[in-house]
Amino acid sequence: MHVTDSFVSSLQSIASHKFRSFLTLLGIMIGVASVVSIFSLVTGMKNLISSSMEQLGFDNSLVLMPSSDGQQNYFFGSIRKAKRKSRPISLHDYYALKKGTDHKYIYGMVQDWKIMNRNEKRKWVLLSATDLDYFKSKTYPLERGRFFLPFENRNSSKVCVIGSYFVEENFKNEDPLGKFITVAGMRLKVIGILAPDVLSKNGMMMNQWERRWQLKNCVFIPLNTGINYLSPDKSLQSVLIQANDSKSFGNLKDRVTQIMLGQHYMAHDFTFQDIGSEMLKMTEKVNDMMKKMNITLTSIAAVTLLVGGIGLFSTLLISINEKMTEIGVRKSLGATDWDIFTYFIIEAVTLSLAAASAGISFPVLIFYLVSKFSPLELPVVWKGIFMGIGFSLTIGFLSGLYPAFKASKIDPVRAIFYFE
């Protein structure tokens, strides 16, 4: 008996008992769908977390600061001043780092709270002097206008970029581009407006609070402008350097140390906030948690598949009685025990494969529609699909072993007599 004939006969058996086949395969379908869904959801969550952490602009990054008596907090624009015992970080240091390191992004930062005056209104704003890489690393796109030009930074031009929420609060129905605001006695021309919250492809942003806060309270000016007007000793409060990837992060830190020691005549009067290492540890913890979640949920799905296999086992036993005459006729025409055994195994595997196909198609279709019509991105993970198919075929094969063996040992005369 050819394998093709057995396969076609199995499909005919499914077609002739549609409802029974559906109920039999429902457990396997749910189990396979669960496996595929679990892998896709867990992978989607990992991608979401990784993407959100990247949007913070601190992955594979270190913050260079001068040694001081106090603790300096770089996050969310609140850098506190401290009495320095050592040489500050100068523009010469900054440009030496910019030229001498292999980096993805590098930007200096000088910040201070100042009073803004406009139309007889006074408001405290965080005046932040930085470079273009700051906006690139944090994915802060422009809504209108432009960023600082190189010559504006070199000439310490009095220009600024503000956020969309800052515009709503302070300009009402006016167009701020080309207008002037006065901060700490400086008359700054507005040249750009940062766009409001923009969802990433996976629909979330881990730095949403920071972004909204900065778009409402910060006024960004060129780095040289800030050094000349905000820093009495013409120094930077901090420099953030981001490596190209995690592999080059260690080398970057060593290179920064070498350059700074050379610039400061071998005086180790600077310190690091190793944000990249902390975020790497956090990422490893997240990946470990997701791995455990994957194993746990897949085990639960495997139990569902096992229950579906029991249903398939029962159906195949019933199928023996229904095909008793067919077994007798086949054996009387020369079919061997192996032929009958193979026939039932192929039927079991075909049933489980049909269940796997249905179980895969449903979540794949759902994930495609969700990814197409919403900001969320749910990838189809081939590992989950192959594992679902593998589980299903294994369950089908094991469920069919005993019924196939039992059918192969039936006496042909008894089989025909059973029909009569």
**Per-residue pLDDT reduced to its tens digit, 278-309:** 777 777 787 788 888 878 877 877 787 888 88
Domain boundary among 268, 290, 315: 268
> Residues 25, 312: contact at Cβ < 8 Å?
yes
Give, rounded to a whole angstrom, the gap between the first and last alpha carbons of the chain: 25
Same domain (yes/no): 246, 296: no
* pLDDT recorded at residue 126: 94
Strand partners for 128:
111, 220
The answer to whether residue 130 sits within a structural domain is: yes
The larger pLDDT score, comparing residue 269 to residue 186, is at 186
Same domain (yes/no): 10, 147: no
The answer to whether residue 74 sits within a structural domain is: no
> Residues 17, 353: contact at Cβ < 8 Å?
no
Question: Is 60 exceeded by the pLDDT of residue 84?
Answer: no
Of the candidates 85, 110, 88, 106, the residue with the CA atom closest to the CA atom of residue 97: 106
Same domain (yes/no): 248, 307: no
Alpha helices in 68-194 (DSSP H): 91-100, 132-137, 150-154, 164-170
Domain boundary among 216, 239, 268: 268
Of the candidates 117, 104, 134, the residue with the CA atom closest to the CA atom of residue 211: 134
The answer to whether residue 33 sits within a structural domain is: yes
The answer to whether residue 63 sits within a structural domain is: no
Same domain (yes/no): 47, 104: no
Alpha helices in 56-163 (DSSP H): 91-100, 132-137, 150-154
> What's the whole-number mean pLDDT along residues 115-142?
88
In the structure encoding, which two tokens stand for residue 358, read together?
């249905």
Same domain (yes/no): 301, 373: yes
Domain boundary among 213, 244, 268: 268
Same domain (yes/no): 206, 287: no
Question: Is 70 exceeded by the pLDDT of residue 74?
Answer: no
The answer to whether residue 277 sits within a structural domain is: no
Question: Is 70 exceeded by the pLDDT of residue 212?
Answer: yes
Same domain (yes/no): 132, 217: yes
The percentage of the chain sitting over the pLDDT mark of 70, rounded to a whole number, equals 86
Same domain (yes/no): 295, 403: yes
The answer to whether residue 276 sits within a structural domain is: no
> Residues 150, 204: contact at Cβ < 8 Å?
no
Instruction: Count other Cβ atoms within 10 Å, centred on residue 287.
Output: 13
How far is 370 from 378, CA to CA, in rounded Å?
Answer: 7
Same domain (yes/no): 177, 323: no
Same domain (yes/no): 250, 307: no
> What's the whole-number mean pLDDT along residues 342-368?
87
How far is 90 from 234, CA to CA, in rounded Å?
Answer: 7
Same domain (yes/no): 254, 353: no
DSSP-derived letter for residue 245 is S
φ and ψ at 325, to 5 degrees? -65, -45
The answer to whether residue 322 sits within a structural domain is: yes
pLDDT digits (tens, 9 = 90+) for 88-106: 899 999 999 999 999 999 9
| Residues sharing a CB contact under 8 Å with residue 371, sequence separation 6 or more, in sequence order | 377, 378, 379
Query: Which of 29-38, 198-207, 257-266 is least confident?
Result: 198-207
Query: Where does the pLDDT of residue 146 fall: very low under 50, low under 70, confident under 90, or very high at 90 and above?
Result: very high
Query: Where does the pLDDT of residue 85 fall: very low under 50, low under 70, confident under 90, or very high at 90 and above?
Result: low
Same domain (yes/no): 189, 332: no
Strand partners for 113:
126
* pLDDT recorded at residue 34: 85
Of the candidates 278, 389, 324, the residue with the CA atom closest to the CA atom of residue 53: 278
Number of domains in the chain: 2
Question: Is 80 exceeded by the pLDDT of residue 113?
Answer: yes
> Residues 328, 415: contact at Cβ < 8 Å?
yes
What is the extent of the structural domain holding 219? 87-268
The answer to whether residue 207 sits within a structural domain is: yes
